[in-house]
A and B are shown apart, each in its own frame.
Chain A
Amino acid sequence: AQSVTQLDSQVPVFEEAPVELRCNYSSSVSVYLFWYVQYPNQGLQLLLKYLSGSTLVESINGFEAEFNKSQTSFHLRKPSVHISDTAEYFCAVSEGGGSNYKLTFGKGTLLTVNP
């Protein structure tokens, strides 16, 4: 069975500082990896995903994540955060693909950006 571990439940940082949100997974087969962002009382929005190809994936708002197969990690990074990045971030994994896949989520990391 697959599992996802987000090592930090909360990460407070100052505006314009760099940030890294850690994510490790375990799976016996090939996986697809995702980062979702959730703002208060809202659903989840896809931030970025790794399906295949380049191990470094980027989002349009400056976040990036690197798939490291040997370390089974998919850490999320941003070189300079904004107040508006304050939200809950979830790492997720699915095994295989197809139209009936299921996502397994980590417990989430609350990123709080302070002025």
Chain B
Amino acid sequence: GAVVSQHPSWVICKSGTSVKIECRSLDFQATTMFWYRQFPKQSLMLMATSNEGSKATYEQGVEKDKFLINHASLTLSTLTVTSAHPEDSSFYICSAPGTVNTEAFFGQGTRLTVV
């Protein structure tokens, strides 16, 4: 099946620094990528939808300037957490619609810890 590769799998950063998370579709082209955030023992919450060649669409309550999303090519979407703070510590997961219209493919996730 289709593969979505997310990198890094975990990262620890200092408060105030920025962190970039990459999500690549390895064997298909993804015009759309979804970015989710998952708090411990909770479900996935959609943060934003990235669209290749255009601006991302953010869900209500998500700060655009803090979570920068770039979808520069059909195989790469990135999420940058700017000026990270401890409350941004979470598990971030990307997903892409696959070749079948109604199935999503998920990256492995990124565990972000801000100290």
Residues of A within 8 A of B (CB): 32, 34, 36, 41-46, 49, 51, 90, 94, 97-103, 105-108, 110
Contacts and interface: CB of A to CB of B under 8 A. Distances in A.
Contacts of A103: 34, 44, 46, 95, 104
B6 A46 contact: no
Contacts of A97: 101-102
B103 interface: yes
Contact of A102 (B10, B43, B46, B107): B46
A97 B98 CA distance: 12
Contacts, number: 61
17 contacts: A41-B9, A41-B10, A41-B111, A43-B93, A45-B106, A46-B104, A49-B102, A97-B101, A100-B32, A100-B49, A101-B101, A102-B49, A103-B34, A103-B95, A106-B43, A107-B43, A108-B41
B106 A43 contact: yes
Interface residues on B, range: 20 to 34
Given A42-B108, A43-B107, A49-B103, A99 B43 contact: no
Given A42-B109, A105-B44, A106-B43, 10 more contacts: A36-B106, A41-B109, A43-B4, A45-B106, A94-B102, A97-B101, A97-B102, A98-B101, A103-B44, A105-B43
A43 B43 contact: no
A103 to B, nearest CB: 6
